[in-house]
Every structure is written in structure tokens, then in C-alpha cells.
Structure 1
Amino acid sequence: MTEFIAIDFETANNRRDSACAIGLARVSKGRIVAEAHHLIRPPSKEFWYTHIHGLTWKDVAEAPDFAGIWPQIADLFDGVDFISAHNAGFDRGVLYGCCETYGIRPPRLPFLCTVELARSLWQVRPTKLPDVCRYLSIPLDHHKADSDSRACAEIVIAALADGWRYGRR
């Protein structure tokens, strides 16, 4: 049975290591079995995307940096087949950027992009997260890392229920 983890980052600015929030949803046997959400203090006080996610430096100033939260979330990646993300290139870049900045070895796992999955399996257009969630009737509080990661997990769960299998073309 497919085991995976869905991930979503919110970032303060356009630097790959500027994560200010992370959401994770671990899936086993077709259901979410563990979730985590953390605010993260990025290396810089520059916040360019408050208008998107609502977070400011004040919200994260006392939060741990990425190195401080990594020990709390690293085990969630153990034993999974892949990491899923909506627009996976972005979240992969942020994960690797944060790991590089703090000298952490990133998980050596493939990424599955739920944008591509929704396009290929259901021909959903447009494929922004709210559009895919609306198509699949998945609740979403968009640009909240916990809700976005949960929604991403539910997209893959829906694909599995429709007969899609990871690694099968």
C-alpha cells in the first residue's frame, strides 16, 4: 500500500530558505495518520508575501528556525514512498533550500506534483489548488500550510481511490 507525505510551505520572500510555515500530512493505507504544522523563523526579517498568507515577522520572531523544527518532523518522512506537493518544484526548492542553509541532509525521496496528477488523471483546468479542491470537494483554507498540505494529501488519496498507482504509467 502506498505511503506518502504531503508537504506545503509558506515563504516570507523569494529566497528558497525563507520558509515561515510548514504543513505536513502523512498518509498510510489511504488515510491521513499524522499531521504537523509549524511556524518557522526565516533567516531574514523581509516579508514580501504577507498579503498572500497573512504571516508577518512578528508572527514568527519567537518561532524556531528550520533547524529547530527539523528534529520534530524528520521522522514523518521515514518509510514513505514519495513526497507530494501542489506545484512540487516550489516546495522541493524550499525544502532543499532550508536544508542547505542549516546543514541538514534532505530526505532522498521522489516528489509527486499534484498539479500534474490532477491534469493527467482528471483533466482539471485550471489546476490551482482551490480549483482542484473544488473539483474533488476537498475543504481548503488556502495559503494556510496545514490546510494546503492536508488538501494535497486528499488529492492523492482521491487519485488512489480512482485506481491511480504511484510509479505506474
Structure 2
Amino acid sequence: MKLVAIDFETANRDPNSACALGIVQIENNTIVHEEIFLIRPPSYRFEFTNIHGIMWADVAQAPTFKQVWTQISTRIELADALVAHNASFDRRVLYACCNLYDIPQPKQKFICTVALARERWNLYPTKLPDVCRYLNITLNHHQALSDARACAEIVIAAAAVER
């Protein structure tokens, strides 16, 4: 099975304000590729710098989501499913960014690692740091690549439980 774990960081409350994206590709329960992208959102308004540390100055010269899409679309399209922690957030951001640039929304289902952690290990609370602590996964929270890698490792750990 081919999965792609994703994590977006946003500049503000607008779902199309992606300013960073971490992508981790998983094949046969092994991480095979990782990438991080800074993204120039459509507005210079940043509300969440205190959370992820990214400012307009960091992304002013970065590619737009449309430009990033040309680099990631094949990985996304070839995935059997997309993985994210609190998947509704990342799905909403992905779809809003696609809509902004008239890009067809990916059709893959999302696997939510919040739901997975609750189902597999009966974990509560299920914030990403809590799940990572339980599974002994290294995390630099709100850094897009670290969060995406953590989601990949959660899905791999859950698959190991199934065997």
C-alpha cells in the first residue's frame, strides 16, 4: 500500500493560507521519501507565527501552492490514501488551496491518525504530542515535516499492531 502523510501549517485562519507543507511517502510500511515546502500564501497576513515560527519574510519569495503542486501532484495521485493528524484540518487546507488555483481536488480517502490512535491504542487525549509520546516518536511539533513524519510513523506502528 502506498500512503502519503501530509501536514500543513497555515499563515492565518483562511484555509487557503498554507505557508508550509510536509510530505512523507510510505510504501509497504516503510518511509521512502520526505519533503518540506515553504509556500507563499495569497495574503501576507500571518496570525500563527507564534505557533510555527514562519513569517511573511520567510515565504515572500517561496513558490505558491500551484507551483508546489507541480512537484507533489504525482506523489499524491499515486497514493492509495493520504494520512494526517486531525485529517479534517489538512483536508480542508488541501482542498482550499486546490480550489484557489483551479486544481482538481485529490480523490484519495484520508486516514486520520487521531482516529487511528483511539482505535488501536484507546488513547486519550490524542493530540499529536500525546500520541508521539505514547509511541516514543520524536516530534518537533508544528514543524510541517516533523508532523508529517510523525503521522507516517503512527500509521506504520498501527500496521504493526494488525500483524
TM-score (norm 1): 0.94
Give 3-state SS (helix, strand or coil) of 2:82's partner.
strand
Q: Which residue does the alignment assign to 1:70?
A: 69
Task: State the 1:79 CA deviation.
Answer: 2.6
Give 3-state SS (helix, strand or coil) of 2:8's partner.
strand
Give 3-state SS (helix, strand or coil) of 1:83's partner.
strand
Q: Which residue does the alignment assign to 1:8?
A: 7
Q: Which residue does the alignment assign to 1:41?
A: 40
Q: In 1, Cα distance between the equivalents of 2:42 and 2:54?
A: 15
Q: Which residue does the alignment assign to 1:118?
A: 117
Task: State the 1:29 CA deviation.
Answer: 1.0
Q: Residue type of the partner of 2:16?
A: D
Q: Which residue does the alignment assign to 1:103?
A: 102
Identity of aligned residues (%): 55
Task: State the 1:78 CA deviation.
Answer: 3.1
Q: Which residue does the alignment assign to 1:83?
A: 82
Q: Residue type of the partner of 1:55?
A: I
Higher deviation after alignment, 70-79 or 141-150: 70-79
Task: State the 1:66 CA deviation.
Answer: 0.3
Q: In 2, Cα distance between the equivalents of 1:131 and 1:50?
A: 22
Task: State the 1:107 CA deviation.
Answer: 1.3
TM-score (norm 2): 0.98
Q: Which residue does the alignment assign to 1:167?
A: none
**What root-mean-square deviation, in Å, do the aligned CA atoms of Structure 1 and Structure 2 show?**
0.9
Give 3-state SS (helix, strand or coil) of 2:57's partner.
helix
For structure 1, the residue ranges without an aligned partner over 5 or more in a row are 165-169
For structure 2, the residue ranges without an aligned partner over 5 or more in a row are none
Task: State the 1:27 CA deviation.
Answer: 0.2
How many residues matched? Answer: 163
Kindly indicate whether the alpha-carbon contact (under 8 Å) linking 1:26 and 1:32 is maintained by their aligned counterparts in 2: yes
1:60 aligns with 2:59: yes
1:18 aligns with 2:29: no
Kindly indicate whether the alpha-carbon contact (under 8 Å) linking 1:23 and 1:37 is maintained by their aligned counterparts in 2: yes
